[in-house]
Amino acid sequence: MVGVLEPYPPRVSEPVSTPGRARLGVVIVTYRSAEALRGTLPALRAELEPGDRLVVVDNASGDATLDVVAALAPDADVVANRGNPGFAPAANQGAERLDTEIVLLLNPDAVPATGFGRAIRRPLDEGRGWAAWQGLVSAEEGRVVNTSGGVVHFTGIAWAGQAGLPLSAAPEGPREIPFASGACLAVTLEAWRRLGGFREGFFMYCEDVDLSLRLHLAGERVGIEPSARVDHDYSFAKGLDKWRLLERNRWAVILAVYPRALLVLLAPALIATELALLPAAAAGGWLGPKLRASAETLRALPRLRRERRVVQSARSVSAIELAAWLTPDLGSAYLGAAERSRLLRGLLRAYWRAVCAALRALDGG
């Protein structure tokens, strides 16, 4: 069972925020993050203003993480869990402590650049009407893009947009995107509370996809503010269990978020994808995690049906309007031969055109 300790050290007083500027509540979820925090916390604290809040939720790191937080951010609220409930539940714990206009989820290894604090507030300060947004996330000490906005294939496969391209390739101006990265994810407190934060069954991975698509489903807008920059110490490889979580959570998104008409029309493609992934997983050495993901999804169906009812009750757009945020192109280098195949690309585009035409004929399902 997860236990929560009282914040250390206690907060003493609430300073007055900068007039006309939204207050920022930052939540950092940590797990064995001591070294990463030595770079992130000083850079972040330089960007905070009076009235801002910092909450660190530690998932039983067992290293020097809490000592680093106490030394470098003594005014932070600290939630010390006795176990590791995962990223999504811990983020929810941190957000519950906030009363700021913006909830900002920041990875412990995502170092803000100078000017980040002003820039990440800009969408709300300027009244753009966005419910959630991300900063521009770079990697390799600012040399390449980590994500300039997430991309979602209609099969639920999702990836970081423009990952690995030179940073100069990233769009300069703000724009709306399919999903905002959890590495640097800002959400208005009102939208966060209305949707109930993250669904907690994810543990980690895809919870940002899920939240963003639920916001789209509710008629909200999700964007990127490129002037708010963080540099992320990112590596895709996290062990074989990452494949299990990615596949299990992909299905958790599909089954709860996709409207019924979209699910029915995509059923042949979803089944074909499952069959195609089996030999691909075997060749890649992650067939075991893939099969465990399928088994876990089947066991979770009763819970997912309950969650689907809640998610769909908040829906305010048609199926075709949600589909506008999905793509038929497997445009990520991480997907290997599937990304390079012109034949597959043509087939997927033709299938997607047929699905969208059917959705329009059904008046959005």
For residue range 118-177, list pLDDT tens digits in order. Answer: 999 999 999 999 999 999 999 999 999 999 999 999 999 999 999 999 999 998 899 999
First to last CA, the chain: 42
Q: For residues 183 and 149, state if they share a domain.
A: yes
Residue 298, pLDDT above cutoff 80: yes
The reply to whether 4 falls in a domain is no
| pLDDT of res. 332 | 76
SS3 sequence, 85-153?
Answer: CCHHHHHHHHHHCCCCCEEEEECCCEEECCCHHHHHHHHHHCCCCCCEEEEEEEECCCCEEEECCEEEE
pLDDT of residue 238: 64
Check whether residue 173 and residue 316 sit in a common domain: no
Judge whether residue 79 has pLDDT over 60.
yes
Residue 213's pLDDT is: 98
Average pLDDT over residues 315-328: 97
Write the pLDDT tens digit of every residue in 329-364. 987 776 777 777 889 999 999 999 999 999 999 974
Listed residues 168, 201, 232: the one ending a domain: 232
| pLDDT above 60 for 7 | no
Residue 18 lies in a domain: no
What pLDDT does residue 337 have? 75
Same domain, 270 and 311: yes
Specify if 279 maps to a domain: yes
Asked if residue 33 and residue 180 are part of one domain, the reply reads yes
State the pLDDT at residue 9. 31
**Res. 16: pLDDT tops 60:** no
> Considering the domain boundaries, does residue 16 fall inside one?
no
**What's the whole-number mean pLDDT along residues 307-312?**
97
Residue 5 lies in a domain: no
Task: Please determine, for residue 15, whether its predicted confidence score (pLDDT) is greater than 60.
Answer: no
- State how many domains the chain has: 2
Regarding whether 154 and 47 lie in a shared domain, the answer is: yes
Query: In the prediction, which pLDDT does 235 show?
Result: 72
Q: Quick check: 318 pLDDT over 80?
A: yes
Task: Mark which of 191, 209, 232 sits at the end of a domain.
Answer: 232
Please report the pLDDT score of residue 236 as a whole number: 64
Residue 32 domain flag: yes
274 and 347, same domain (yes or no):
yes
For residue 2, pLDDT beyond 70:
no
Last residue of a domain, one of 232, 262, 282: 232
Q: Residue 132: its pLDDT value, please?
A: 98
Asked, for residue 278, whether it belongs to a domain, the answer is: yes
Give the pLDDT confidence of 24-63 residue by residue, as tens digits.
Answer: 999 999 999 999 999 999 999 999 999 999 999 999 999 9
175 shares its domain with 312: no
Q: Which of 3-12, 115-124, 243-252, 345-354 has the lowest mean pLDDT?
A: 3-12
Strands 150-152, 144-147: pairing is unpaired
pLDDT tier, 18 (very low <50, low <70, confident <90, very high otherwise): low
Please tell me whether residues 298 and 201 are part of one structural domain. Answer: no
Average pLDDT over residues 73-84: 96
Looking at the fold, whether 193 and 268 belong to one and the same domain comes out as no
- What mean pLDDT is reported for the chain? 91
CATH number of the domain residue 145 falls in: 3.90.550.10
Structural domain of 285: 241-361
pTM above 0.85, yes or no: yes
Q: Looking at the structure, do residues 224 and 310 belong to the same domain, yes or no?
A: no
- Whether 60 and 152 share a structural domain: yes
Q: 160 and 263: one domain?
A: no
Q: What pLDDT sits at residue 21?
A: 80
Tokens of 282: 């075997």
Q: Please write down the long-range contacts of 142-146, taking CB distance under 8 Å and 24 or more positions apart.
A: 142/113, 142/167, 142/229, 142/231, 143/167, 145/169, 145/170, 146/181, 146/183, 146/232, 146/234
The predicted structure's pLDDT at residue 12: 32
Report if residue 13 sits inside a domain.
Answer: no
